[in-house]
């Protein structure tokens, strides 16, 4: 079953955790020094927050799927919707390893579809170009062209990355 995903950048992680812990009436499922995630069943959502230096607000929206086959189906649906789809295989991001596909909607909102393969010990892949406060964890533009080798970092194809 698919799960809706929201990732927010926050300025004060501890204050945000207190707020969302009360709102969701649950402790975070994952808690790190710069990241927290709630995997909720009511509503069915993967809600993540991070304080990695990016501007506060919505970082991206997405859909998490349970299999590679479901990810391929979503990729086809994204293609049909008219967005440029940028694949990212074996990405290390947000303390997880995942296969992903990124796009933007007509307003420029970044969308991530992903299948989580397992846990990771770091927020970003070690040595990732995008493991800096100013780098995005998603394509800068839906017009981004995929490179041949993807998936070594939490930064889908963009200049100077991956």
Alpha carbons 41 and 160: distance in angstroms, whole number:
38
Whether 11 contacts 53, CB under 8 Å: no
At 9 the three-state DSSP class reads: strand
Q: How confident is the model at residue 125 (pLDDT cuts 50, 70, 90)?
A: low
pLDDT at 131 over 70: no
- Structure confidence by residue, pLDDT tens digits, 65-121: 999 999 999 999 998 998 789 999 988 888 889 999 999 999 899 999 999 888 877
Q: What is the CATH number of domain 1-162?
A: 3.10.180.10
- Structure confidence by residue, pLDDT tens digits, 21-79: 999 999 999 999 999 999 999 999 999 999 988 899 999 999 999 999 999 999 999 98
- Structure confidence by residue, pLDDT tens digits, 139-161: 444 444 333 223 334 544 343 33
| Backbone φ, ψ for residue 94 (5° rounding) | 55, 40
Q: What is the dihedral of CA 27, 30, 31, 37, to 10 degrees?
A: -80
């Amino acid at each position: 079953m698919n799960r809706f995903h929201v990732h927010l950048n926050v300025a004060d992680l501890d204050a945000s955790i207190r707020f969302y812990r009360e709102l969701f009436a649950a402790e975070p499922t994952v808690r790190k020094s710069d990241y927290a995630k709630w995997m909720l069943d009511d509503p069915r959502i993967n809600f993540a927050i991070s304080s990695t230096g990016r501007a506060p607000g919505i970082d991206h929206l997405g859909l998490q799927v349970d299999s590679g086959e479901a990810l391929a189906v979503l990729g086809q649906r994204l293609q049909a919707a008219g967005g440029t789809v940028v694949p990212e295989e074996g990405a290390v991001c947000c303390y997880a390893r995942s296969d992903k596909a990124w796009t933007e909607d007509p307003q420029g909102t970044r969308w991530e579809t992903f299948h989580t393969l397992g846990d990771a010990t770091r927020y970003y892949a070690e040595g990732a170009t995008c493991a800096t406060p100013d780098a995005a964890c998603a394509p800068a533009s839906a017009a981004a062209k995929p490179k041949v080798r993807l998936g070594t970092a939490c930064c889908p194809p963009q200049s100077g990355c991956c």
